[in-house]
Amino acid sequence: MAITTRSVEESCIAAKRASRELAGISTASKDAALEVTARLLGERSVDILEANAADLADERAAGLTQALRDRLRLSEDRIGAMAEGVRAVASLGDPIGEELERKTLAGGLDLRKLRVPLGVVAVVYEARPNVTIDCAALTIKSGNAIVLRGSSYAERSNGALAAVVREALVEAGIPEDAVLLVGGGREDLAELATQEGNVDLLIPRGGEGLKKALKEVATVPVIYAAAGNCHVYVHAEADLEMARRIAFNAKVQRPGVCNAAETLLVDAAVAADFLPGVLSDLHAAGVVLVGDERVRELAGDVEVSPATEADWSTEYLDLKMAVGVVDSLEEAVDHVNHHGTTHSEAIVTASEETSRRFTAAVDAAVVYTNASTRFTDGFEFGMGAEIGNSTQKLHARGPIGLRELTTYKYVVHGVGQVRE
**pLDDT tens digits, 6-65:** 899 999 999 999 999 999 999 999 999 999 999 999 999 999 999 999 999 998 888 888
Can you name the residues that pair with 266 across neighbouring β-strands? 234, 325
Domain annotation covers residue 393: yes
pLDDT of residue 396: 87
Phi, psi of 188 (to 5 degrees): -70, -35
Domain annotation covers residue 86: yes
Domain annotation covers residue 3: no
Domain annotation covers residue 111: yes
The total of structural domains in the chain comes to 2
Q: Are residues 108 and 135 in the same domain?
A: yes
Alpha carbon distances (Å) from 38 to 23, 35, 107, 347, 378: 22, 5, 50, 38, 18
Instruction: Look up the pTM and report it.
Output: 0.84
What's the mean pLDDT in 151-175? Answer: 96
Which structural domain range is residue 139 located in?
Answer: 8-225+387-413
pLDDT of residue 71: 85
Q: How far apart are CA 83 and CA 137, in angstroms?
A: 10
Q: What is the per-residue pLDDT across 105-137, written as a single tens digit (0 to 9) for each?
A: 999 999 999 999 999 999 998 878 999 999 999
Q: Are residues 186 and 202 in the same domain?
A: yes
What's the mean pLDDT in 305-325? Answer: 96
Phi, psi of 72 (to 5 degrees): -80, -30
CATH number of the domain enclosing 356: 3.40.309.10
CATH number of the domain enclosing 129: 3.40.605.10
Q: Are residues 399 and 350 in the same domain?
A: no
Q: Are residues 330 and 304 in the same domain?
A: yes
Q: Are residues 213 and 243 in the same domain?
A: no
Domain annotation covers residue 74: yes
Q: Are residues 290 and 204 in the same domain?
A: no
Q: Are residues 200 and 251 in the same domain?
A: no
Q: How far apart are CA 352 and CA 349, in angstroms?
A: 8
Q: Are residues 305 and 253 in the same domain?
A: yes
Alpha carbon distances (Å) from 30 to 21, 79, 86, 335: 12, 21, 11, 46
Q: Are residues 156 and 246 in the same domain?
A: no
Phi, psi of 3 (to 5 degrees): -70, 125
* Per-residue confidence band for 168, with pLDDT thresholds at 50, 70 and 90: very high
Predicted confidence (pLDDT) at residue 1 exceeds the cutoff of 60: no
Domain annotation covers residue 194: yes
Using alpha carbons, select from 28, 209, 111, 142 the residue that is nearest to residue 402: 142
Q: Are residues 273 and 399 in the same domain?
A: no
Q: Are residues 283 and 147 in the same domain?
A: no
* Per-residue confidence band for 146, with pLDDT thresholds at 50, 70 and 90: very high
What's the mean pLDDT in 161-190? Answer: 92
Using alpha carbons, select from 401, 387, 406, 389 the residue that is nearest to residue 123: 387
Angle at CA of residue 109, ends 103 and 110, nearest 5°: 40
Q: Are residues 142 and 180 in the same domain?
A: yes
pLDDT of residue 2: 65
Q: Do residues 184 and 193 make contact, with C-beta atoms less than 8 angstroms apart?
A: no
Q: Strand 389-390 to strand 398-399: parallel, antiparallel, or no bridges (unpaired)?
A: antiparallel
Domain annotation covers residue 381: no
Domain annotation covers residue 419: no
Can you name the residues that pair with 123 across neighbouring β-strands? 148, 203
- The residue length of the chain stands at 420
